[in-house]
A and B are shown apart, each in its own frame.
Chain A
């Protein structure tokens, strides 16, 4: 598949889409890009002339949750996105071809669109110093495929926390030596769309931004688009007024939880997490974790798997119970230091006791 010469405007008119339909498409695109509706005329003018980019999607050490997320993106639907606005030339899960034919499609698209295609990666990959056998495709290591595809790419979009920051595969003790895309790619622009999985409309929104403006969006210190990751969950949370009033749920079934009070003391990582869940929501805009009564896990932040218990409040040491912390707070900083020492001792003891499991032992158990 090669890059189409038709603009998006020409393509939509050929499909009999009226100007009203086009304006509606632009309104949905503005909403998806987290841009104000006042920019709809500018978006319409830019989209009218936009040409659909070629996209190559590589999946490495991942769970396919990111693709599952994208295929549930409703603005526009994935069918619209794939057929009308991007040319998805290679994607393991979605493409019909397999084996040599699939690899040939990738090579052909890379050649035809050299220097212009978008490379999307989900999943982390074993680093150059790791055993490449942990993850291979068609007999080639993830590292070799990434470097081959990066060479002719206009930009790289790392979708999901695994591709952005290493994610679950890189969680301690990181058995595969997993690294993120930006650990390896230094000579091309890298956009991190983190989240486990990312909000589907954020994935689409980044693609739509590139399609509309032919450039990548403004990024934060972790290479994440500021339009979606510029504000913390806490700052955009509808429960924030309860935090400000000091009204907290203490358990999942107390009166505070039923009244929808702040989930900070139940471990909510909203104050240290930057993502668009509070406005974009999930499942076609139905709800999002905090609205469903569960604290934010902080899944769009680096090393969130190793950041301590999901249900420990942010200010609590990660390996101590709430009761221990309370005691430490009452008796002062000296005891607080003792708690930290206790935690370190506990971690060391667990490390010393850890018994590696061999393949033979696993097979015996199975």
Chain B
């Protein structure tokens, strides 16, 4: 992908209204329904943008309408995952990349926080042991220093 980016040709994304195909609008309505569900029941929703037959410029149009919110985060696990809150509270963009910078998946997640961002219960199960190991290692270092 990095080599593709190196080609000095840019695709004309047709972001002007003349080329509007109307493909972003149905997704925004789906987001609205998901927000209603989140508010009423607390149930979150993920929408896979890779599964939507968007044309050039449609994703840019969609994200431009959603805007940019207060929170952005990067997770480093099997490559970077970029998380961006949109200007609509509860609507997040979660962009999964591999270690070579290629996009693996691109989701809109409607939730209080994206699922992948919080500490995972399976990892928490090992956290006390991990801390204990560091405490023992740290106290050993201190004894050696004194």
Contacts and interface: CB of A to CB of B under 8 A. Distances in A.
Q: Do A and B bind each other?
A: yes
B98 A77 contact: yes
Counting contact residues on chain B (CB < 8 A from A), the size range is 35 or more
The 5 closest A-B pairs by CB, nearest first: A238-B55, A37-B46, A19-B120, A21-B77, A28-B104
Contacts of A287: 11
A37 B105 CA distance: 10
Nearest to B56: A291
A283 B4 contact: yes
Nearest to B81: A24
Contacts, number: 106
A31 B52 CA distance: 11
A199 to B, nearest CB: 12
Nearest to B107: A37
A27 B122 CA distance: 17
Interface string A49-89: 00000000000000000000000001111000000000000
A215 B122 CA distance: 27
Contact of B104 (A20, A31, A36): A31
Interface stretch (B15-23, B60-68, B84-92, B136-144): B15-23
B120 A260 contact: no
Interface string A272-298: 000000111001111100010000000
B104 A27 contact: yes
Contact of A27 (B21, B55, B96): B96
A284 B4 contact: yes
Nearest to B80: A24
A241 B102 contact: no
A109 B142 CA distance: 54
Given A19-B123, A20-B123, A27 B53 contact: no
Contact of B98 (A31, A37, A40, A74): A74
Interface string A131-173: 0000000000000000000000000000000000000000000
Given A38-B46, A260-B55, A19 B104 contact: no
A241 B46 CA distance: 26
A10 to B, nearest CB: 13
A23 interface: yes
A23 B120 CA distance: 10
B77 A20 contact: yes
Given A18-B120, A37-B48, A279-B53, A286 B4 contact: yes
B80 to A, nearest CB: 10
A278 B51 CA distance: 9
A237 interface: yes
B28 interface: no
Most buried by B among A30, A280, A283: A30
A302 B56 CA distance: 30
B71 to A, nearest CB: 17
A96 interface: no
A236 B48 CA distance: 15
B133 interface: no
A27 B79 CA distance: 13
B46 A260 contact: no
Contacts of B116: 20, 23-24, 27
A31 to B, nearest CB: 4
Interface in B28-70: 45-48, 50-56, 58
Contacts of A40: 46
A284 B79 CA distance: 16
Contacts of B56: 260, 291
